[in-house]
Amino acid sequence: MRPQILLLLLFLAVLPLSAIAARGQGWKQIEVVDDPRIKSMGEFAVADFNRKSHAGLVFKDVLTVTEEAAGSEQSTYLLHLAVEGEPPRCYDTVVLAFVWLDHWEVSSFDSKSCQG
C-alpha cells in the first residue's frame, strides 16, 4: 500500500480520539443558581416546552445547575427546575448554549421528582 494512504488512514483513526479528548472537560456544579442568566435559561426552557407540547407550565425556580463546557463556543447546561402547581412538579432540562450565536436550544425536558 502507498505510504500516503497509510498516513491518511492513521489520521482518520486519530482524529475522532482527539476530538473526544478535547471535549471531555467534564461536568461542574454551578453554585450560584440565582444568576439572572441561569434564571432566564430556565424560563426559556419552560416556554419552549409549553410551545412544543401546548402545556401550561409556569416557571417557578431553578433548583440546581451543572455545566459541561465544550470549548469556548458551546456549553451544555443541565437544569433541575421547579414549576408552579400542586403537587409540586420538577423537571430536568438540558440546554445547549451557543456563545457565538447568543442562542439557546433545549435538547431535552423530562419530568423528575422534586428533591427536598
- The pLDDT, as a whole number, for residue 22 is 52
pLDDT of residue 48: 96
Helices (H), the chain: 3-23, 36-53
Residues 88-104: tens digit of each pLDDT: 899 999 999 998 888 99
Structure confidence by residue, pLDDT tens digits, 9-36: 655 655 555 554 455 568 899 888 889 9
| Nearest of 61, 74, 91 to residue 25 by alpha carbon | 74
Write the pLDDT tens digit of every residue in 44-74: 999 999 999 999 999 999 999 999 977 777 8
Q: What is the pLDDT of residue 73?
A: 79
